[in-house]
Chains A and B, each alone.
Chain A
Amino acid sequence: MTAMGDVRRQRIDELAARAGQVPEGEGGVSLVKSAFRRLRRNPVAILGAVIVLVFLFVAAFAPWLAPRDPLAQTLLGEVRPGSIPGPQEGFPLGVDQLGRDLLSRLVYGSRQSLLIGVVSTVLGAVVGMALGVLAGAFGGRVDTVVMRFVDIILSIPSLLMAISISVLLGQNQYALMIAIAVTQVPVFARLLRGSMLAQRESDYVLAARALGVKRGRIVFGHVLPNSLSPVIVQGTLSLATAIIEAAALSFLGLGDPDIARPEWGAMLSTAQDFLSIRPGLAVWPAVCIIVVALGFTLLGESLREALDPKFRR
């Protein structure tokens, strides 16, 4: 009788001990860690990450990956008016109107395009978010002043703005980045401010105020983390538009004057003149821009899902 009772008690203790154990990776893990874990399980995220990583790899190791010198006008002699040599032995994608290897130019172009995209987006996002936080955190008069300032930037056509900045700063690649960044600022500022204003009205902010939490702590500890997900998505979309905008500026002759640095956007715009002769010259840079933009978008979208606790299971 007592033996049976002991067995039962032992069994209960055993079960209780097991119930107390937290399975590995469950329970309290940090936000970033669990977001990363969910990212790894998401095929869309993996696809996006692979695309982005491949292009980053190509950009980093361009000198080793490119089959030829992107500036050498090797086949210039075979370029005639109305005819540009197509793919052939040693030139898998053909050459451009100056007889330079297209593949090598694409490989080298990834450096400049990614650099412009990343730097100008980061710059635009940082300044825009700073303005957004200012407006969203204080509200009232500060909000009005900041937002009217942002509206002024927004009211100037972005190309006109970029041209003015290029004139002011001189024609170089940094001016190009700053010009694109300035046009990104209003988007980030408005987005963050709007989502912070929405969060400010939420119950948990009222609850935090009811507990006497300081305003700075409420803004940076509570409101901001909940307002970031649309900004992250916008960041990835902006990366794509920044590359395209750089192309537009190059087309207007406001791009990087250094011809030693091939760039997809500039390649795309010069290829326009030869569209009827050799469409490939425009298609390949366009495909590169689209795929990179897609990669960043996929990654950003799944990042948002992973960071949003509401999507967690």
Chain B
Amino acid sequence: MSIEAMPPEGALRSDVPVLEVEDLSVTFTRRGEQPTRAVDGVSFSVSAGETIGLVGESGCGKSVTSLAVMGLLPKRGVQVGGSVRLAGTELLGASDRTLRRLRGSEMAMVFQDPLSSLNPTVPIGTQVTEVLVEHREMGKREAATEATDLLDRVGIPDPARRLKEYPHQLSGGMRQRALIAMALACSPRLLIADEPTTALDVTIQAQILELLRELVVDSGTALVMITHDLGVVAGLCDRVHVMYAGKVIETADRYELFARPRQPYTGGLLASVPRLDAGRGVPLTPIRGSARDAIPWAEGCAFAPRCDNAQDDCLTEVAGSTVPLEYDGPGRELRCRHPLSYPQQTPAGATASGAGR
């Protein structure tokens, strides 16, 4: 074994999942105000080449979870608990220096709005090369060549010319591709995509998702997809974690989830997706109320006020602990006392397609 191959202290390992998040909690505190727990006991893990989805409506803690993983939350007024391990290395409590070294090289993030995520006064090329210079210690010229390759790889035509252009001169899809190129510059093990297609129109959305899928397959990147778009989930994610009011309420692989949603909230999300084969004039089926109606988890199920299945025991805390996230069949977990049930409850793998509701 050569010296270069010797793992330095705190080195990343390849025999463990790329990202393990355990019991992550994020609390925002403000003097004179009740602390807000935005993320509460979230656990999940992602392996190389795997894509997981974090799904939920606005304000359920998806983005805060991703910022906590990247260590990008402000230090003041924020308490982060639990454990986040990137390839075996604990990130919570790691020094700024360590985190900065890992960000961009081992883990990267693609944000929602490609225009505001690019600096308007700096050419695209400079923004791509600065990652290469920072983490791969390349020279200016070498970095420029590499940046051309990167833009080419993410499907930007005429990359050499685009490098000299400014963000406003690129189309929305191209901007998002450029951001993905920046995120991929150092072939990170983990890529977090925070609603990467929200600001794009539908055809471009499909192209960007296809690009992300190719990257996962080609380079074995672990991808965390944060979205509220169930279409994106259906097309891309291997496993799905549905979040509500800061907690994971249902986990399943995508086929299971779409075929048999157990949590009434998941069921409601799926039922509210517009269908092309629905008759004319048939109204959509929304979930009652809004996310603001949630009650604290300490007092029962946060979703109970909006839930059609809610019983008395959903609104009162019985055992002195919150509704637990429990085993619910192979590969599934569920946080619900009165889940949706299906007439033909068959083991996973059976061909029954009892799409609920």
Cβ-based interface call for B30 (8 A):
no
A24 CB to closest chain B CB, in angstroms? 13
Q: Which of B48-56, B146-154, B159-167 sits within the interface?
A: B159-167
Chain A residues with CB under 8 A of B130: 208, 211, 213, 217, 221
Across the interface, do A209 and B72 meet the contact criterion of CB distance under 8 Å? yes
Residues of A within 8 A of B134 (CB): 211-214, 217
Question: B185: which A residues are within 8 A, CB to CB?
Answer: 211
Q: Given contacts A27-B164, A226-B120, A312-B168, are A210 and B72 in contact (CB under 8 A)? A: yes
Q: Are A209 and B117 in contact (CB under 8 A)?
A: no
Partner of B135, one of A208, A212, A221, A225: A212
Q: Which residues of A contact B318 (CB under 8 A)?
A: none
One of A7-15, A109-117, A158-166, A198-206 contacting the partner? A198-206
Q: Which B residue's beta carbon lies closest to that of A228?
A: B121
The minimal Cβ–Cβ distance linking A129 to chain B, given in whole angstroms, is 17
Q: Please, what's the 1-or-0 string for B70-85, where 1 marks a CB less than 8 Å from any CB in chain A?
A: 1010000000000000
Chain B: minimal CB distance from A195 (Å):
13
Q: Residue of A at shortest CB range from B125? A: A28
Proximity string of chain A (300-313) to chain B, C-beta cutoff 8 Å, 1 when within and 0 when not: 00000000011010
A213 near B161 (CB under 8 angstroms)? no
Contacts of A207 in B (CB 8 A): 109, 111, 117-118, 179, 182
Q: Which of the 9-residue segments B38-46, B99-107, B277-285 touches chain A? A: B99-107
Counted as pairs of residues, one from A and one from B, with CB atoms less than 8 Å apart, the total is 95
A65 an interface residue at 8 Å Cβ cutoff? no
- Contacting pair B183 A211 (CB below 8 A): yes
CA distance A20 to B157 in the complex (A): 10
Known contacts A28-B163, A206-B72, A221-B130, A211 near B182 by CB under 8 Å:
yes
B351 at the interface (CB under 8 A from A): no
Q: Across the interface, which residues of A come within 8 angstroms of B339, CB to CB? A: none
Most B CB atoms within 10 A — which of A204, A222, A312? A204
Expressed in whole angstroms, the minimum distance between the Cβ of A223 and any Cβ of chain B is 9
Please state if B118 and A28 are interface contacts (CB–CB under 8 Å).
Answer: no
Contact residues of B between 84 and 139, Cβ < 8 Å to A: 99-105, 108-109, 111, 113, 116-123, 125-127, 130-131, 134-135
Min Cβ gap B120→A in Å is 5
A28 touches B161 (CB 8 A): yes
Once bound together, how far apart are the Cα atoms of A22 and B161, in whole Å? 9
B158: interface (CB < 8 Å) = yes
Write out, one digit per residue, whether chain B residues 161-200 have a CB within 8 A of any chain A CB (1) or not (0): 1111110110000000001001101000000000000000
For A206, A209, A211, the residue with the greatest tally of chain B CB atoms inside 10 Å of its CB is: A211
Task: Determine if A287 is an interface residue (Cβ-Cβ < 8 Å).
Answer: no
Q: Which residue of B lies closest to A22 (CB)?
A: B161
Q: How far is the CB of A126 from chain B (nearest CB, A)?
A: 21
**Closest CB in chain B relative to A36 CB, distance in Å:** 16
- What chain B residues lie within 8 Å of A20 (beta carbons)? 158
Other-chain contact of B108, A22, A27, A202, A211 (Cβ < 8 Å): A211
Q: For residue A224, which residue of chain B has the nearest CB? A: B121
Q: Known interface pairs A22-B161, A28-B164. Does A212 touch B103 (Cβ–Cβ under 8 Å)?
A: yes
In whole angstroms, what is the CA distance A28 to B130 when docked? 18
- B114: shortest Cβ distance to chain A, in Å? 9
Which residues of chain A from 238 to 279 have any CB-CB distance to chain B below 8 Å in the complex? none
Interface size on A, residues (CB 8 A): 26
Are B102 and A222 within 8 A (Cβ)?
no
CA distance A222 to B131 in the complex (A): 13
Q: B120 touches which one: A208, A209, A210, A310 (CB < 8 A)?
A: A310
**Given the complex of chains A and B, what is the CA–CA distance between A31 and B125 in angstroms?**
13
A31→B119 CA distance, assembly (Å): 13
A309 with B123, Cβ < 8 A, contacts A20-B158, A210-B103 known: no
Contact yes or no, B100 A212, CB < 8 A: yes
Those of A219-239 within 8 Å (CB) of chain B: 221-222, 225-226
Give A99 to B117 CA distance when docked, in angstroms.
Answer: 66
Bound-state CA distance A309–B169 (Å) is 10
Chain A residues, Cβ within 8 Å of B165: 27-28
Return the chain A residue nearest B192 by Cβ.
A210
- What's the minimum C-beta distance from B217 to chain A, rounded to whole angstroms? 23
Are B104 and A203 in touch, CB under 8 angstroms?
no
- Contact, CB under 8 Å: A211 / B113: no
A309 pairs with B120, CB closer than 8 A: yes
Which residues of the other chain, A, contact B131 by a CB distance below 8 angstroms?
211-213
Chain B residues lying within 8 Å of A211, measured Cβ to Cβ, are 103-104, 108, 130-131, 134, 182-183, 185
A214 to B96, CA, bound (A): 10
Bound form: Cα–Cα A309–B118 in Å: 12
Q: How far is the CA of A20 from the CA of B119 in the complex (A)?
A: 26
> Which residues on the A side are within 8 Å of B163 (C-beta)?
28
Cβ of A193 to closest chain B Cβ, rounded Å: 18
Q: Which residue of B lies closest to A199 (CB)?
A: B119
A212 touches B105 (CB 8 A): yes
CA separation between A207 and B134, bound complex, in Å? 14
CB neighbors of A among B231-253 (8 A): none
Residues of A within 8 A of B135 (CB): 212
Q: Contact between B119 and A208 (Cβ–Cβ < 8 Å)?
A: yes
Residues of A within 8 A of B117 (CB): 203-204, 206-207
Question: Could you tell me if A204 and B104 are in contact, using CB atoms closer than 8 angstroms?
Answer: no
Which residues of A sit under 8 angstroms from B120, Cβ to Cβ?
Answer: 204, 226, 309-310
5 additional A-B residue pairs with CB within 8 Å, beyond A210-B111, A212-B135: A27-B161, A31-B166, A203-B116, A203-B117, A212-B105
User: What are 21 A-B interface contacts by the 8 Å CB criterion?
Assistant: A20-B158, A27-B161, A27-B165, A27-B169, A28-B161, A28-B165, A206-B111, A207-B118, A207-B182, A209-B72, A210-B70, A210-B72, A210-B108, A211-B108, A211-B134, A212-B99, A212-B100, A212-B103, A213-B130, A217-B134, A309-B168
The 3 closest A-B pairs by CB, nearest first: A28-B164, A212-B104, A212-B103
